[in-house]
Structure 1
């Protein structure tokens, strides 16, 4: 299933490289570490100093393992994040059903209620991400899911603006810890949010709850049920997965290690230098800023699409308006899956960001330039098609431009912090007095999409330039005299590291 793989590369320092690989292979054979189980053990480096894997895997075994992981993990995580996003954005659907009227919200009160969530989310995002690494996602994710489910139910019983703000703040604390990498499911959440809300509103009541309060109550109860199931289905790491054989566990661990240059473990201990380099990385920071700009649109669509649809079709009933919010997200979900699969297949992300931005630009040009209901509704499709794909692309990007697990947790946390700053901006982009055309909100989104295009092109050019510069470096001389620990801590500054655009 696995064997020692000694690549034959022709670069500067070929002799030293060859000697290094021969020594490594000999050492591996001497220690009996040519088999898969040994390769998975802690302390074994699965790559050489050039980043080449020293272990070769059986493609068929890899395929079966990927499928098993997908079937066991993806459904639980996706459904949890589905309801995480619904619990966050269902206030937009509740607005159509009388949320503002019943709480006596006037002026900018609705925007304030939305903003409170992002304040706590931003503050607790990085601490929560690090806590997830420390506690383990198998326990942490179900626990916080339980927390935001209870918070959603609490929203069903608020009577004042202050109470609504308090519950939204607590909701942000719990949701801040959700694994940012599963933002792939944002588009599906938007789709089911409107569909579920419209279905709930066909009920006369749910216990003592009526109208918009049923949305929060029922969706919160469902979230709590899912979180309890997740305690039994999620696992922290391959070693603790009861549904993997020992051979599959070894293969899973070895595969991850073979992709991480000079790393001796899959789950390394927190290290200040790795945490810093997970943040202070040119690609992480520029990608995070891209996600900030994109999230202005993502959250703006989520919170205000029901309102925008209401202005497009003012004579429709509340349930009809809820249902009109669904089709753009259905189409958007198809494109998210397609673009994500394409990105995975070609191991490229930046080019897909560049391709997505023009559609968002066109959508908001139509919002600003035309007044016909059909044209504006079509513009919502263009925005949903392109903007939701940016979430998974940016999170995949920041995960690909770092090496260790510690740096990856910081990079993803940084990306989501920036993204939620964009969400905070979004809550103030569509102001009451700016309707029904919302020129300010649509103009902000148009400018954000334009900046995304410029940044993505700049990233692509810079990464190619820097990779070419790195090709001329003498890896052996730069690493000479360094200990394994020092080499492991170099992260993206390792001379053998290459950006993957």
Structure 2
């Protein structure tokens, strides 16, 4: 049985338990997984301990059934968004007669819808259930990608990119929210990394795939850059159809889990959520606002905004930057030169969250990443040597890409209810995409080939990320000390169970997880 007998070291509520320790046996797992049952005392301490071996088996099973599908969906989500950079090298802007800042306008229109629909899409994901929402939205942005292959004017391209932004808005926060239904707080960052790593891999794989596609003479009636959008969109549609069959909405509906495993999956989530009696609550305005306006959510979201200026800027402009470094290389060679920095970035995208899982800390890595980005942009600004600048892209990718997993895990870990978690993740990604919108104007054609404005802006955002991360870390530790001095019994006196749950992170028994 998943829960070890007789290993309760928790002092339950003194009024309810008259000062006695309660020993919980393995047979009580079902009780604490059930509706209306809490798995913590009012001080936020778990009422039981888990069999580590049983947890490990369950975690491995979840990894196997959940992560491959969401990773593939996010890979092509990012490819369908960023392949416009590869298409530009193949003549996208020339064929559409884009001049001046037209290309930046086409990039920006995507982020307008992407930002507006971020939180609504994540609430829709909660309402529909991720098992239905994620495949549906993937199918729709796959269709949008195919439609891009048939545009002939800037207005058509802008319209399709706006629609693409609507359907992609729910993917990053939706998957993060989905996985938060399954994994403990300490486990979440690493699992998010295993799909968010597809962003840098999309940069690498997208360059390889675009190079391979461009070697074809045609795809039906389509040629050149149009084949990139069409072929990659068709693959996305195929993946969406398969995911309708493979995604499981939540532990209770997982046919591949035994009843004991379902109970364990639910009980271990409850054991980390003070005052929680339902893992999946109904959408509630109070908890929704708790998720959006948590100080940790807002601070982390702004950090993610700053980081995304770099991440999205690399995605859209790496091919252009490589072209300025290697102007005499062939288009295929330029595409291939975009691959290695993304591979190195992917390694750090997994490494930092893996260490955060083992140490159950995220803030140290918030502080470790920015100096790498700062060093890279200083190299860009200080040197005009092509090899030095190409080396700088490796440092930038190493420091920047891990923030996607770390920030989403951080806001998820620092709220209590499912509704607040959905809102917090949506807020974080919405802010991040504001950074993406800024990035579309960071590397201007008038600033080529040295891009002093873009590199200077990114140096500034990386520096501010370091400062804010250090400040947030210090504040969380100080506030936790204040919470430890609070009389929980007095603070919660007279409140009903529903009122206590509505407190969410304002519950004095709740502790921030740096």
Settle same-fold status: TM greater than 0.5. yes
CA distance in 2 between counterparts of 1:210 and 1:275 reads: 48
Q: 1:107 Cα shift?
A: 0.5
CA distance in 1 between counterparts of 2:411 and 2:242 reads: 30
Q: 1:79 Cα shift?
A: 0.5
The Cα RMSD (Å) is 1.6
Q: 1:46 Cα shift?
A: 0.6
CA distance in 1 between counterparts of 2:494 and 2:236 reads: 54
Counterpart in the other structure of 2:439: 426
8 Å CA contact 1:4–1:56 kept in 2: the answer is no
Counterpart in the other structure of 1:383: 396
- Going from structure 1 to structure 2, the CA distance change for 1:93 and 1:34 (only over 3 Å counts) comes to same
TM-score (ref. length: structure 2): 0.93
Q: 1:258 Cα shift?
A: 1.0
8 Å CA contact 1:4–1:54 kept in 2: the answer is no
**Alignment partner for residue 157 of structure 1, among 150, 154, 164?**
150
Q: Determine if the alignment matches structure 1 residue 75 to structure 2 residue 68.
A: yes
8 Å CA contact 2:38–2:276 kept in 1: the answer is yes
SS in 2 for 1:490: helix
SS in 2 for 1:213: helix
Note the residue ranges of structure 1 that are not aligned, 5 or more in a row: 10-15
Counterpart in the other structure of 2:182: none
**Alignment partner for residue 87 of structure 1, among 80, 86, 89?**
80
Note the residue ranges of structure 2 that are not aligned, 5 or more in a row: 177-191
8 Å CA contact 1:139–1:231 kept in 2: the answer is yes
Q: Determine if the alignment matches structure 1 residue 262 to structure 2 residue 275.
A: yes
Q: 1:23 Cα shift?
A: 7.6
**Alignment partner for residue 42 of structure 1, among 35, 53, 60?**
35
Q: How many residues align?
A: 492
Counterpart in the other structure of 2:480: 467
Q: Deviations over 1:222-263 (max 9, x none)?
A: 000000110000011011111111111111111111111110
8 Å CA contact 2:344–2:398 kept in 1: the answer is yes
Q: Determine if the alignment matches structure 1 residue 196 to structure 2 residue 209.
A: yes
Q: 1:184 Cα shift?
A: 4.6
Counterpart in the other structure of 1:308: 321
Q: 1:179 Cα shift?
A: 3.8
Counterpart in the other structure of 1:140: 133
- Going from structure 1 to structure 2, the CA distance change for 1:44 and 1:71 (only over 3 Å counts) comes to same
CA distance in 1 between counterparts of 2:259 and 2:9 reads: 28
Q: Determine if the alignment matches structure 1 residue 445 to structure 2 residue 458.
A: yes
Q: 1:177 Cα shift?
A: 1.1
The 5-angstrom pairing of residues 333-352 of structure 1 reads 333-352=346-365
Q: Determine if the alignment matches structure 1 residue 329 to structure 2 residue 342.
A: yes
Q: 1:55 Cα shift?
A: 2.9
SS in 2 for 1:242: coil
Counterpart in the other structure of 1:281: 294
8 Å CA contact 1:144–1:174 kept in 2: the answer is yes
Q: Determine if the alignment matches structure 1 residue 102 to structure 2 residue 78.
A: no
Q: Deviations over 1:44-86 (max 9, x none)?
A: 1011111111132211111011001101110000010000000
CA distance in 2 between counterparts of 1:56 and 1:4 reads: 9
Counterpart in the other structure of 1:454: 467
Q: Deviations over 1:29-57 (max 9, x none)?
A: 7xx99521222111110111111111322
Q: 1:22 Cα shift?
A: 5.5
Q: 1:185 Cα shift?
A: 3.1
8 Å CA contact 2:323–2:334 kept in 1: the answer is yes
Q: Determine if the alignment matches structure 1 residue 176 to structure 2 residue 169.
A: yes
8 Å CA contact 1:4–1:34 kept in 2: the answer is no
- Going from structure 1 to structure 2, the CA distance change for 1:8 and 1:323 (only over 3 Å counts) comes to same
Counterpart in the other structure of 1:127: 120
- Going from structure 1 to structure 2, the CA distance change for 1:369 and 1:178 (only over 3 Å counts) comes to same
SS in 1 for 2:171: coil
CA distance in 1 between counterparts of 2:153 and 2:216 reads: 24
Counterpart in the other structure of 2:9: 7
8 Å CA contact 1:21–1:48 kept in 2: the answer is no
Q: 1:161 Cα shift?
A: 0.5
Counterpart in the other structure of 1:318: 331
8 Å CA contact 2:200–2:342 kept in 1: the answer is yes
TM-score (ref. length: structure 1): 0.96
- Going from structure 1 to structure 2, the CA distance change for 1:113 and 1:346 (only over 3 Å counts) comes to same
CA distance in 1 between counterparts of 2:429 and 2:45 reads: 31
Q: 1:311 Cα shift?
A: 0.3
Q: Deviations over 1:92-121 (max 9, x none)?
A: 000000000001111110000000100001
- Going from structure 1 to structure 2, the CA distance change for 1:171 and 1:121 (only over 3 Å counts) comes to same
